[in-house]
Structure 1
Amino acid sequence: MASRRLPPLPQYQKDGVTRRLCASAHLDEDFARHVHREFTADRMTAVGLPLGVNLLALVRHATAAVRRFDTRDRRLARLSAGALGAVVVALYGLAGGSSTVVGAGCAGLLAALGTAWWLVHAEESAARDAAFAVFRSGTKPEELATPVAGEVEDRLRELRRANVVPYTAAAERTNPFVGSGTKIKESVWQPIDISRPAADPAGGKLTITPFDAVDLHTYIAREMENIAGLEGLRAQNRLYVLGTHVRLIGGDLLPDPLGRPRARISPKLVQSGLVQPGAGARTYLSLERIGEGGRIIVSMHLRARLQHPSLSWEVAAYAIPPVGGRHYRVDTLPIDGFERWWSLVRYASGRFWPALRGAAGRGRRRTAEQNRRRRELEKWRKDIGKRHAVYDHGAVSSLREWVSSWDGVGHSERTDSQDFLHRLQQGVLIATEKFLKDHHVDTGSFDQAQQVINAQTYNFSGDVTGPSNFGNNGQIAYGPGQQPAGAPAGP
């Protein structure tokens, strides 16, 4: 096609979501601690797919933020003890009628309060500087924070190329594609007769070239980006395993029965889930398209049901909306000048007393929670080792789904998502037809099935989390009060 020389318009950053979440980790303590605990703490369950987020960068920034928060709280805890001691001294002097002792106690209390104010001010100032640096800088986000433990980073890098996803048993009835977002469509396309050979142009019939589901999936994965016209489309065969069946797959998936499952396994096992699916283990071709700036993610999970003499496709489409409003604080903060100074003064003045008063209690609660989780893991590991208890290693969700909110979906995201899904559906049909023709299969039955399949549409209009958002034209319909399966509740 001919290209025109036109002036450029502003574009979303391709890693915009990652930068926003890294900045949010510095400004939102609860979020930073959640990320740090989710990806660095000892656990036996799998974590969800990254889905457009650079988890390595995010975990580095969250860990740096948590260290800064912990340092602040330790200092505030010591100051709170000093402030309490100063109050005792002042009361003692008051009871004894010694103005010198009362003055010393009051001076100590004021010093403790002033120091607490400055600690809160300094921590918030450092947090904003770090947030602005990662959000506005051209430097790669992962280069702006200190690396974490090597084994943690190795797991996060492996997760980028995950070819297996253990999912929690609770999701089996509704959404085995945990972390993929809200279900938009789920269906099994009309079967196609693949037993009839195509006509030979020279006369007679051609001989069908044998193929299996692995061949078909491989062809679709290789050709889809060009056929669908979706640059950057990710195609990956993944084995989805029921969390309680992880141990049955073997050491390739669960090297340590008392540890966490791996994110990558032998490709042969993935192929087995296509040709001969196991109990609670099936392989799907996951097609993922990330919208502009990562604001919305659309995925389609396909499985070829190849049982002679017919072929049908199992299809499930999901969408993850933009990041929720709590992660937009970095957009509202003043960058420099008097406004920044005054904003920090107001912040410290309003937060230093609650921070000082509750520092010791927060530390105790965090320690108690860590001990509780450790005891729970120890109990499970003991039950697994001695009583052969069955543990659910499956992931519950993904971080990208957890931080999303349908309130942020605009017209552009809705129309882009519809376009993505239509292109994916049409691409699968075109690729399937080309594959069958290449293998000398008569496509007459396919042409009939295609008319029915193309009548199915995707609708993103309205509030997706509300009732009855989808029509009956080949779409999922929800009754009053029901939610789309897997709709995120938000942080």
Structure 2
Amino acid sequence: MAARRLPALAQYRDDTVTRLLCAGAHLDEGHAREVDRELTEDRLKATGLTLGIDLIALARHARAAVLRVEARDRRLAWLCAVGVWAAVPVGLYGLAAGVTGLAYAAAGAVVLAHGAAWGLVHRTESEARAAALAVAHGADRPMDLVPGVGPEVENRLLEQKRANVVPYTAHAERTNPFVGSGQRLKEMVWQPIDVSRPADDPAGGGKLTIRPFDAVDLHTFVAKEMEHIAGLKGLRARNRLYVMGDHVAHVGSDLLPDRLRRPRAQIPKQLVQAGLVQPGAGMRTYLSLERAGAGGRVIVSMHLRARLQHPSLTWEVAAYGIPPLQARFHRVHGLPVGGFERWWDLFRYATSATGRLLLGAPSRLSRRSSARRRRARDLERLRRDIDRKHLLYDYGAVDSIRERVADWKQVGFSDRTDSQDFLQRLQQGVLIATERFLRDHNVDTASYDQAQQVINTTTYNFSGDIHGPGNYGAGGTINQPGQGPQHGNHGYGTGLQP
């Protein structure tokens, strides 16, 4: 089919979400510290599966933002000590003793300290905004704009990007074991398909011989063919072993080489395959199909598990969604970029914030130092209990950065319709791939044709978590009815590229 030649419209960047989160690290100290602790600090908990984000870039920008604020507060604390704690008592003494020269000198010290603090706050905020604008609108890759965080950390984050195992906290088994995938949209077990009957020989004369296959073969075929069948360019398909956090040690040293360190994100594929053919205790393998919307604003995923038990095959299907980022991460799009507006905005910020930041610097440094020591003590105590008392520890991730900063109130019409289209295409693609696989293995697909008519009635609504007890739907499918409320879109932001 000939391609129609039309003018090109502006498109969202593929890494828009990464850029917004990196920019947010420079503009939101709380976000920067949270990311820095989770991605770079020593810990035992697994990192949640983070979809659609360059973790290395995010870790670098969060570390740069944290170091900038730390440097500012150390200088402010020194100015506070000299210009407030020392100068104010001296000035009061000079007034009381009638030594006006001493009082004037102390007052001058206070003014100079405040002026220096104002300049420091102004410069730090200016650097933060410049860094945020550069990563949000610049042409360079986000990870190239700031220094690295060390090869050990970055190698671990790179491994996390290709994760084929996901330890999830044990209590999530009752709600959402697919940590990092967002909120549940629908859970089903499709109607069984009889795979024990051989297909008719097209040449006549009887039946064909069924070619042996197992669930690994079926998963591999679906993973390879889905992008082409579903017509979803950029579809990510990966088999992953999902393991309950308190069962991680039972997988072996391939997942947990050291019980006093966090588990790995990659294991030999034979272990992943084993979780599909013969699942272990709290260990199951799923084929995760993930597709991001324009610019990564929304992410939909479908987790599939083939239940192949002679004489039937069923598909366990769970659909999940992650909505767009919270509105606070679009603040970078409202920053003045030059001229009088930028100067005036920075002037107002520095003037209003300097006093608070100057007087609070020593206490902030003290609280952070105390929190770091407390976390280090807790971690050391936990490791001692694991080592000496053989404590059964839950290594599983609780959530992920991407789903933690998402907001269903930001879902717009295009997000909903695109996501529904993705999920319907994924469902249809799985059905088509399953039929082709069965035909290739000489299986009679009459039972499949009957099941498909029921399965195709399934619909998806991209509007948040589903509440209410499960029940049995038409044709034996198990579903969760009653989608959550739909919300209007509160702004797309920008992040466009020509």
Q: TM-score range by the shorter chain?
A: over 0.9
Report the counterpart of residue 450 of structure 1 in structure 2.
452
TM normalised by structure 2 equals 0.94
Distance 1:436 1:302 in 2: 17
1:280-311 deviation digits (Å, cap 9, x = unpaired): 01000000001100000000000000111110
Report the counterpart of residue 411 of structure 1 in structure 2.
413
Q: CA deviation at 1:395?
A: 0.5
Q: CA deviation at 1:380?
A: 1.2
| Shift in alpha-carbon separation, 1:467–1:381, aligned structure 2, 3 A | closer
Distance 1:378 1:451 in 2: 57
SS at match of 2:211: coil
1:303-337 deviation digits (Å, cap 9, x = unpaired): 00011111000000000000101111101110000
1:419-465 deviation digits (Å, cap 9, x = unpaired): 0000000000000000000000001111111111111111235xx36
Q: CA deviation at 1:62?
A: 0.6
Report the counterpart of residue 190 of structure 1 in structure 2.
191
1:55-103 deviation digits (Å, cap 9, x = unpaired): 1111101101100000001011111111211101101101110110000
Report the counterpart of residue 488 of structure 1 in structure 2.
none
Distance 2:5 2:263 in 1: 51
* Counterpart selection for 2:369 from 367, 370, 374: 367
Q: Matches of residues 310-459 of structure 1 in structure 2 within 5 Å? A: 310-459=312-461
Q: CA deviation at 1:467?
A: 6.6
For the aligned residues, what is the CA RMSD? 1.8
* Counterpart selection for 1:476 from 476, 480, 485: 480
Q: Matches of residues 166-177 of structure 1 in structure 2 within 5 Å? A: 166-177=167-178
Report the counterpart of residue 3 of structure 1 in structure 2.
3
Q: CA deviation at 1:477?
A: 2.5
Is 1:406–1:465's contact at 8 Å kept on the other side of the alignment?
no
Report the counterpart of residue 209 of structure 2 in structure 1.
207
Is 1:467–1:483's contact at 8 Å kept on the other side of the alignment?
no
Distance 1:86 1:279 in 2: 67
Q: CA deviation at 1:50?
A: 2.4
Distance 2:142 2:36 in 1: 16
Is 2:185–2:466's contact at 8 Å kept on the other side of the alignment?
no
Distance 1:155 1:446 in 2: 43
Report the counterpart of residue 149 of structure 1 in structure 2.
150
Aligned amino acid, residue 329 of structure 1: R
Distance 1:235 1:363 in 2: 45
Report the counterpart of residue 304 of structure 2 in structure 1.
302
Aligned amino acid, residue 46 of structure 1: A
Distance 2:481 2:305 in 1: 23
Distance 1:300 1:208 in 2: 29
Distance 2:379 2:467 in 1: 39
Aligned amino acid, residue 20 of structure 1: L
Kindly indicate whether residue 100 of structure 2 is the aligned counterpart of residue 99 of structure 1. yes
Q: CA deviation at 1:483?
A: 9.4
1:349-396 deviation digits (Å, cap 9, x = unpaired): 111111111111111111111111111111111111111110000001
Gaps of 5+ in 1: 485-491
Distance 1:483 1:389 in 2: 42
Distance 1:334 1:72 in 2: 23
SS at match of 2:304: strand
* Counterpart selection for 1:291 from 281, 290, 293: 293
SS at match of 1:158: helix
Runs of 4 or more off by more than 4 Å in structure 1?
Answer: 465-468, 470-475
Distance 1:245 1:467 in 2: 28
Gaps of 5+ in 2: 487-498
SS at match of 1:241: strand
Distance 2:214 2:430 in 1: 16
Distance 2:128 2:323 in 1: 27
Distance 1:357 1:310 in 2: 71
Aligned amino acid, residue 160 of structure 1: K
Report the counterpart of residue 47 of structure 1 in structure 2.
47
Aligned amino acid, residue 9 of structure 1: L
1:188-246 deviation digits (Å, cap 9, x = unpaired): 11111100000001220000000000000000000000000000000000000000000
Distance 2:73 2:332 in 1: 23
Q: Percent identity?
A: 62
Is 1:60–1:145's contact at 8 Å kept on the other side of the alignment?
yes
Distance 2:401 2:299 in 1: 13
Q: CA deviation at 1:149?
A: 1.2
Report the counterpart of residue 182 of structure 2 in structure 1.
181
1:100-135 deviation digits (Å, cap 9, x = unpaired): 000000000111111111111110000011111111
TM normalised by structure 1 equals 0.95
Distance 2:421 2:285 in 1: 26
1:378-420 deviation digits (Å, cap 9, x = unpaired): 1111111111110000001111101111111100000000000
Report the counterpart of residue 34 of structure 1 in structure 2.
34
SS at match of 1:172: helix
Is 1:466–1:483's contact at 8 Å kept on the other side of the alignment?
no
Report the counterpart of residue 489 of structure 1 in structure 2.
none
SS at match of 2:11: coil
Distance 2:107 2:164 in 1: 64
SS at match of 1:288: strand
Distance 1:395 1:451 in 2: 38
Report the counterpart of residue 137 of structure 1 in structure 2.
138
Is 2:184–2:465's contact at 8 Å kept on the other side of the alignment?
no
Q: CA deviation at 1:478?
A: 4.6
Is 2:19–2:136's contact at 8 Å kept on the other side of the alignment?
yes
SS at match of 1:211: coil
Is 1:302–1:315's contact at 8 Å kept on the other side of the alignment?
yes
Distance 2:448 2:201 in 1: 18
Between 365-374 and 419-428, the greater mean CA deviation after superposition? 365-374
Distance 1:257 1:465 in 2: 35
Between 298-307 and 470-479, the greater mean CA deviation after superposition? 470-479
Distance 1:251 1:466 in 2: 37
Report the counterpart of residue 487 of structure 1 in structure 2.
none
Aligned amino acid, residue 3 of structure 1: A
